[in-house]
Amino acid sequence: MSGTEDDERVFAALAPAGGRGFAQSWWGRAWLKALEDTALDGEQLKRGRRHARQGAVGAVSVRPGRITAVVRDRDGTAHRSDVLLQQLSEEEWERFLEMAVDRAGHIAALLDREMPPHLVEDASGAGVELLPGIGDLEPECTCEAWDHCPHSAALCYQVARLLDQDPFVLLLMRGRTERGLLDELQVRSVSRAARAQLEPPPGEAPAGAGVPAAEAFAAQDILPPLPAPPPLPQEAGRPPVLGTAADPSEVVDEGALEFLAGDAAARALRMLSDALSPGHERQPLETELTPGQDAVRLAASTSDARLTERLASGTGRSRTELDLAVRAWRFGGAAALAVLEEEWTPEPEALRRAAAALEAAWDDGDRPPLRAGGAGRWTVKNGTAQLRYGRDGRWWPYREEDGRWVPAGPAGHDPAAALADALGEG
C-alpha cells in the first residue's frame, strides 16, 4: 500500500484468491451483500467473482466517495472501473464522533482495526449508516454496461478482501482518513475528560452554592442519592488457603475447593465489571450454564490433571471425552459444546438455505465433493473434513483425528472459510 494524497490510499494488486470465499469478516460480507442484493444480472457477478479470483484486478485506489481500479478481461483488454459510495455529511460525522466518544470500546475496536457489530448498531441508532445498503454501490465502467458489469463486480469483490484487513478503508470511502478520524476522537476524548473534572455531576450545584428554598422544601421527603460505587479492583482476590497441619479430610478436597473459590472470585469480578460498564442495562442476560457445561468451562481454565480427572468423573465423561469437550469450549463456549455433543435436525427450509450457501460459496467445479448427513452435517467425500451447521446458522469446521471428529476452529457464517479451516487451509 502506498498513499498518493492525504485523502487517497492505493493498494497494490492482490494475489489470486484461490477457491475460498472472499470476505472473512462480517463487515466484508455485509459489503458483498450490498453488491449481490443490488445487481440484476447474477451471471455478471459470477464473471466478476472469477475475474477477482484469477487476479485480474489491478491496484485499487480508495478515495472519499469512490474506489477505482483497472480490470482486465481474459483477452487482456483493460477497463477502468469505478464504484461510487455516498460520503457522510458533516452532520452525520458529528453524530458518529459524539457516539464513538461515549463508548471507549468503540475507539479501542477501531484502533485494533475491527468494526464490531455494536459500533455499527450504535452508529445506526444515531442516524449514521456506515455499511452500504441495497443500491448504495453505484458502478461506472469504460465498458459502458448499465448495471454492475464483471469489471465493477470484480472490483467490489477485491475491496471485500481489503475491508477484511482494515475497516478504515470503508471509513475513507465514507469521507474521513484514518489519521484524521483518530485525531478527532482523541481530541474529543481529552476535552470531555477535562470538562468532567471541572463540571459538577448533573443536578449537583457547584461547591459552596446554596439550594433554592422551594427546591429544598419539595425534596424534604426524598432520601439523598446513593454514594458512588467504590473503585473496581484490578484483580480478583486470592482464595483462602484451606490446608492445615492436620490430616487431610476424606470428605472435602481442599485443593478443589480452593480452585472453585478462586474461580468464583474471578467470575464475580467480571460480572461486577460488566455491571458497571455503560449500557449494561441494555445487554441481554447471560444464559445459565448446566452443571455439565460448567464442568467443561472449569476444565478449560485449569491445567491440574487431578482436578481434570475429578471433573471428568463427576460429569460421566472419560478423560478423552472431556479433553475433546474442552477443545470445543475454547473455540466457542456453550454453543461449540452443543455442536460437539448434541444432534439436531434443522428445519427443511434451513437445510435448503444451508445447501444453497454451500453451493454459492464456490465457482463451478471448485467445490470439494460433500456428502450430506443427518443433524445438519456435511462431510467431504473420501476426506477427513466435515462441516456442522449450528442452531444459530453458523458453520463449524471439524476434522477427523484418530477415528473421531474433533473441532478444528471457531464458527463462521461463510461455509467456504469454515471448510478451509477443516482442511487445514485457513
Mean pLDDT: which of 144-153, 212-221, 275-284 is highest?
A: 144-153
Query: C-alpha dihedral over 110, 114, 115, 116, to 10 degrees?
Result: -110
- pLDDT tens digits, 151-199: 999 999 999 999 888 888 999 999 999 888 888 888 887 777 666 666 5
- Collapsed DSSP state (helix, strand, coil) of residue 5: strand
Residue 380 and residue 71: Cα distance in Å, rounded? 35
DSSP assignment of 71-125 equals EE-TT--EEEEEEE-PPPPHHHHHHHHHHHHH-HHHHHHHHTT---HHHHHHHHH
DSSP assignment of 19-76 equals TS-S--SHHHHHHHHHHHHH-S-HHHHHHHHHHHHTT-B--EEEETTEEEEEEE-TT-
C-alpha cell at 262: 478462586
Residue pair 21/361 in contact (Cβ under 8 Å)? The answer is yes
For residue 383, pLDDT over 90 is answered with no
For residue 12, pLDDT over 80 is answered with yes
Q: Which residue bears the cell 463427576?
A: 314
Between 378 and 250, whose confidence is greater?
378
**pLDDT reported for residue 263:** 79
Kindly indicate the confidence band of residue 2, based on its pLDDT and cuts at 50, 70 and 90: very low
For residue 412, pLDDT over 90 is answered with no
For residue 255, pLDDT over 90 is answered with no
Residue pair 398/370 in contact (Cβ under 8 Å)? The answer is no
Nearest-5° Cα angle at 92, 90 to 96? 115
Question: E strand or H helix at 293, and its extent?
Answer: helix 291-300
Residue pair 55/13 in contact (Cβ under 8 Å)? The answer is yes
For residue 338, pLDDT over 80 is answered with yes
The strand pair at 138-141 and 370-373 is best described as unpaired
Write the burial class of residue 110 (CB in 10 Å: 0-12 exposed, 13-18 middle, 19+ buried). buried
As a whole number, mean pLDDT of residues 318-343 equals 91
Residue pair 242/257 in contact (Cβ under 8 Å)? The answer is yes
Which residues, 6+ apart, have CB-to-CB distance to 373 below 8 Å? Answer: 379
Residue pair 142/79 in contact (Cβ under 8 Å)? The answer is yes
- Across 294-316, b (16+ Cβ under 10 Å) vs e yields ebbbbbbebeeeebbebbbeebe
- Collapsed DSSP state (helix, strand, coil) of residue 397: strand
C-alpha closest to that of 136 among 37, 260, 62: 37
Residue 368 and residue 259: Cα distance in Å, rounded? 46
C-alpha closest to that of 149 among 51, 77, 66, 62: 51
As a whole number, mean pLDDT of residues 211-232 equals 64
For residue 218, pLDDT over 90 is answered with no
Q: Which residue bears the cell 450504535?
A: 122
- Collapsed DSSP state (helix, strand, coil) of residue 298: helix
Least confident of 66-70, 126-130, 393-397, 421-425: 421-425
As a whole number, mean pLDDT of residues 33-58 equals 88
pTM of the complete model: 0.48
Q: Which residue bears the cell 451447521?
A: 389
Q: How many CB atoms lie within 10 A of CB 404?
A: 11
**pLDDT reported for residue 242:** 62
